[in-house]
Structure 1
Amino acid sequence: MNQAVHFAQTAKPAGKAVQRETTRTNDPVRTMAEILEVATTEFANKGLSGARIDEIAAATRTSKRMIYYYFGSKDGLYIAVLEEAYRRMRAIEGELHLEDLPPEDALRRLVSFTFDHHHDNQDYIRLVMNENMERGAYLAQSKSIQELNVPAIQAIRQLYDRGVATKVFRPGLDPIDIHASISALSFFNVSNQHTFDLIFKRDGQSPQALSARRENIVEMVVRFVRA
């Protein structure tokens, strides 16, 4: 029997809050998705130590008990949020169909996607920043994070190998290093936007500035890899 259904059947009503909680277990997938969505914002804005399970429960109309039932603990929820953030990014990457494009076009699409994803999903950047402040201690507990990120390196390795084979890309580069360069350039535009724009008195988030920065990053990566 599904654990969530079993919980719903065995829980004893004790007022409106518990009745509402029991009803929500009829759709555990939706409930967990809602909790993850709200928790993503909470952890991104406040970090692990500052986030409050009570606030997540109130925003999702559930309870601390139900959150702990699904995720085990606050740490468990935090790890699940990290995993879901990476899973979503990798799932979208898988829809780029890089294998259908010539190598340089595929690389351009991947870099453009990464830049756009980071700009449009700034909670993801904040989560990664927060976890780095934790020195990766919680991500290290994930049982799926390695597997989730394998496709990203495989995609780069495949398009890079195709480029080398057709003499479009220069040989001898490490796909993980290429991935790191793409990530770093795209990440900085979000992680340092406030301090960078303040220091240099510019609006780096205007449509014009973002478009120019996006194209510059694409060109930097392509020229680095190009034969």
Structure 2
Amino acid sequence: MTDQPRPELQRDAARTRTELLKVATEVFAESGYSGARVDVIAERTSTTKRMIYYYFGGKEGLYLAVLENAYLGIREAEQKLQVDHVDPVEAIRRLAELTFDHHIAHQDFIRLVSIENIHRGAYINRLESLREISRPATSLLDDILVRGREKKLFRDDVEALDVHIVISSYCVFQVANRHTFGFLFGVDFGEVSQRAHLRRMIGEVVVGWLTTH
């Protein structure tokens, strides 16, 4: 019979891995893949460079784990949204606002996505698991759209992926273009009332689009 790791050791390993992912996310978002250094990540955590290699096999493995974890975060948030018995119009509004909130609260995620696109998806292409992780995003939208069409509330020429593109594009813009857009037009996306206005706006945009027959 094989001895099982003691529960406290398993907890310590889980905590160490979680801490490494958190700090690595910040470092990769700040410096990109090329600029990030494993020894810097080790210095910012309560572990060592050797442990990073133990858990992730090196810098590339750590970066891939960071990407996967970042995408998993938004998918998990979407799945916690209980809208099965909610009016479809209100459901789509809540989903749009939840996406907005998540992107604002996890700005490193947007920076990682931007960095990955600069590299033309060189690393995300190695994460086939993300295709499966991302599938619930459109499944949830499909369910809401179907219910909305059955009640004659939503137009029938818009697909779930179309809605996902509109919501994601708007929410990414708030982070990716915050400084350039803010400078050009004197807008502070971080100001409380402005953020509340922008949050309401994405809900109104999507609802208005879908309910226009």
Normalising by structure 1, we get a TM-score of 0.87
Find the structure with the greater CA-based Rg: 1
**Shift of residue 58, structure 1, vs aligned partner:** 1.5
CA distance in 2, matches of 1:212, 1:94: 25
Match of 1:128 among 108, 113, 116: 113
Whether 1:107 aligns to 2:92 is: yes
CA distance in structure 2 between the partners assigned to 1:47 and 1:201 by the alignment: 28
Q: Are 1:209 and 2:194 matched, yes or no?
A: yes
Deviation per residue, 1:124-162 (Å, 9 max, x gap) = 111111111111110110131111111111000110011
Letter aligned with residue 64 of structure 1: K
Alignment counterpart, residue 224 of structure 1, candidates 206, 209, 213:
209
Unaligned runs of 5+ in 2: none
The partner residue of 2:169 within 184, 192, 195 is 184
Q: Which residue is 2:41 aligned to?
A: 56
One-letter amino acid of the counterpart of residue 146, structure 1: R
1:162 to 137, 141, 147: 147
CA distance in 1, matches of 2:20, 2:154: 44
Residue 14 of structure 2 corresponds to 29
Aligned residues: 210
| Contact 1:107–1:222 (8 Å) recurs in 2 | yes
Instruction: List runs of 5+ in structure 1 lacking aligned partners.
Output: 6-22
Question: Who is 1:148 aligned against?
Answer: 133
- CA deviations on 1:73-131 (whole Å, 9 max, x unpaired) are 21111010011011111111111112121111100000001111111111111111111
**Aligned sequence identity (%):** 44
TM-score by length of 2: 0.93
Note the aligned Cα RMSD (angstroms): 2.0
200-209 or 160-169: bigger deviation: 200-209
**Runs of 4 or more consecutive aligned structure 1 residues displaced over 6 Å after TM superposition:** 23-26
Aligned partner letter, 1:75: E
